[in-house]
Amino acid sequence: MSTHPWIPNSSHETVKKMLETIGISSVEQLFKDIPPEARISQEKWMSLEIGKGRMLSELEAKRIIEEKLSKNKIFNPPPYMGGGVYPHYVPPLVKYILSRGEFLTAYTPYQAEISQGLMQAIFEYQSLMAELLQMEVVNASMYDWASAIAEALLMSVRVKKGRRKVVVPYNVNPFHFKVIETYLWPQGVRIERVRYDREKGSIDIEDLKSKVDSETAGVYLQYPNFFGVIENAKTVGEIVREKGALYITGVYPVSLGLLKAPGEVGADIAVGDGQPFGLGLNYGGPYLGIFAVRYDQNLIRQMPGRIIGLTTTQEGGQRAFAMILQAREQHIKREKATSNICTNEALAAIGVAVYLSLLGKTGLRKLAELNYYRAHYAASRFSEIGLNRVFSGEFFNEFAVSLNGFGKTYREVHKKLLDRGVHGGLYIGHLYPELGEASLWAFTELHFKTDIDKLVDLLKEILTGGG
């Protein structure tokens, strides 16, 4: 193979022409300034395990990859799992638009005039998200929900100068909390945890009141929380504001078809994951970190991430889009930047824009209702076989149940479901040992009534039968 399909100049004739123009006789000469001790010999390089050593044709590669993909198991219906990301329907139109090369293979739109379509699409993402969240300023995305929370908390420390503590309840997503810890540790910011109400599953308001004080820069609240329970985000907001801290809310955005938006409950910063809006599960990413603030110059100036803004052309005042407020960013501010985030999840943001445009005003409410109904149906069917909810608080489409009293571990039940081709919920007993054999179950538009009925029958058989 002398000329590779992806390397057009690799033919002998072209290489020869270029070498002659440069005035050298071999390609190796271009690397002569690399000190010998820092070089790797061709022999050694060729002996390393990298791919199959040689170049492969697509046909050969496809055979190898097919063999691997066949070892992954796809469940239909998908796993009854949330935990921060959820199986939702991905409309083919979303995938199609994202596969268009003009979006897919573009770089960050440094040259505005030739990238207007890309920037308008990102501006539309920001604007659709602003409506959903009822917030005025949205950035062009963070990596995921967890990193967005971490950056929001860091931002609260920058905005509330001198305050070095943030407050995070125990009932927020523990996978998110681990990321918060990683980001806050080098800055020496103290994280104080707030208990949850063991009966309702929502945040312990008295404990919150005792922990938010004049040292607190930011308070984070997730609704629905990790247990799926809907918090009273309004009441919490009032407590936070009274102490002069920034109020950061995290939302599962599908629930906003039914629940009050962050802007309506008084949030200063709203975060979340756009994954449920037309992005795949992708075994952990790419997802989409939502990041929004209310309109306040002081907050806007401290925002991390890229933002696209509406403007006009210099001549003629034609509408146009541009990257704005770049003075906050690392390529200008360097070590004084608001964050180091550079490459974000722009394409995912466009996917979400396409999804929300399809769903529209009434679609979102209908989707949220469907998710609510399916989960509440499941919860009531679960209780018929003695699988009761751990918490009594109102929930959206996810809830915790307990196996305490069945004399079985969740692991055993899970294994038996898997043997029957069904992927159950998420074990959370190791994350919250006080709950015993608890697991978390999520239901979406992809889990139909017939699926839920089958699941309940299987669970009944497993829980009551010997085998």
Partner 1 sequence: MFRQAKWSEPLIFELSVKGRRGFLVPEPEKEVKEKVGSIKLSEDMARTIDPDLPELSEVDVMRHFTRLTEMAYGVDNGPVPLGSCTMKYNPRIAWEVASDPRILGLHPLQDEDTVQGLLEMIYEMQKWLANITGMDYCSLHPAAGAHGELAGILLIRKYHELKGQIDKKTEIIVPDSAHGTNPASAAMGGFKVVEIPSNSDGNVDLEALKSVVGESTAGLMITNPSTLGLFEENILEIARLIHSVDGLLYYDGANLNGIMGYARPGDMGFDIAHLNVHKTFGAPHGGGGPGAGPVCIKDRVVDAEKNIRLSDLLPGYYVIYDEKTGKYRLKAPGENSIGFLKAFFGNITPLIWGYTYILMMGNEGLRKVTELAVLNTNYFMKLMENVKGYEIPYGKGRFRKHEVVLSAQPMMEELGVTAEDVAKGLLDAGFYAPTIYFPLIVKEALMTEFTETETIENIEKYAERLKEISRIAYQDPKEPKKWPVNTSVGRIDLVKANHPSTVTPTWRLHLKRVKGEIK
Name which of residues 312 to 371 contact partner 1 (CB under 8 A). Answer: 312-316, 318-322, 324-325, 329-337, 339-348, 350, 353-354, 356-367, 369-370
Q: Is 442 helix (H, G, I), strand (E, B) or coil?
A: strand
Interface region with partner 1, contact rule CB under 8 A, candidates 3-11, 159-167, 399-407, 458-466:
3-11
Amino acid at 97: I
From residue 306, alpha-carbon distances to 74, 197, 446 in Å are: 36, 38, 34
Contacting residues for 329 by C-beta, under 8 A, at least 6 apart: 306, 337, 338, 342
With contact defined as beta carbons under 8 Å apart, do 4 and 55 qualify? Answer: yes
Q: Which is nearer to partner 1, 73 or 466 (CB)?
A: 73
Using the rule CB under 8 A, is 377 a contact of partner 1? Answer: yes
Using the rule CB under 8 A, is 108 a contact of partner 1? Answer: yes
Both tokens assigned to 2: 């002398």
Strands 269-273 and 216-223: unpaired
Both tokens assigned to 101: 């090369």
Which residues within the stretch 205-224 sit at the binding site for partner 1 (CB under 8 A)?
223
Q: Which is nearer to partner 1, 120 or 213 (CB)?
A: 120
> Could you count the other beta carbons within 10 Å of the beta carbon of residue 110?
9
* Whole-number Å distance between alpha carbons of 146 and 180: 7
Q: Which is nearer to partner 1, 63 or 405 (CB)?
A: 63
Site for partner 1 (CB under 8 A): which residue of 12, 25, 143, 240?
143
Name the minimum Å distance from CB 167 to partner 1.
Answer: 20
Name the minimum Å distance from CB 212 to partner 1.
Answer: 19
Q: Which is nearer to partner 1, 19 or 213 (CB)?
A: 19
Q: Which is nearer to partner 1, 317 or 466 (CB)?
A: 317
Both tokens assigned to 254: 């599908």
Strands 165-169 and 216-223: parallel
Using the rule CB under 8 A, is 35 a contact of partner 1? Answer: yes
Q: Which is nearer to partner 1, 216 or 275 (CB)?
A: 275
Site for partner 1 (CB under 8 A): which residue of 194, 219, 256, 269?
256
Give the residue carrying structure tokens 């929502």.
Answer: 202
Using the rule CB under 8 A, is 61 a contact of partner 1? Answer: yes
Which residues within the stretch 287-306 sit at the binding site for partner 1 (CB under 8 A)?
287, 295, 297, 300, 306
Both tokens assigned to 92: 């083919």
Q: Is 188 left (phi over 0), alpha (psi -120 to 50) or beta?
A: left
Q: What are the backbone angles phi and psi of residue 443, rounded to the nearest 5°? A: -130, 135
Using the rule CB under 8 A, is 420 a contact of partner 1? Answer: no
Q: Which is nearer to partner 1, 123 or 391 (CB)?
A: 123
Amino acid at 81: M
With residue 269 as reference, give the H or E element that holds it.
strand 269-273
Binding string, 426-465, against partner 1, x = CB under 8 A? x------------------x--xx----------------
Which residues within the stretch 39-58 sit at the binding site for partner 1 (CB under 8 A)?
39-40, 42, 45-46, 48-58
Instruction: State yes or no: cis peptide before 224, omega within 30 of 0.
Output: yes
Q: Which is nearer to partner 1, 33 or 466 (CB)?
A: 33
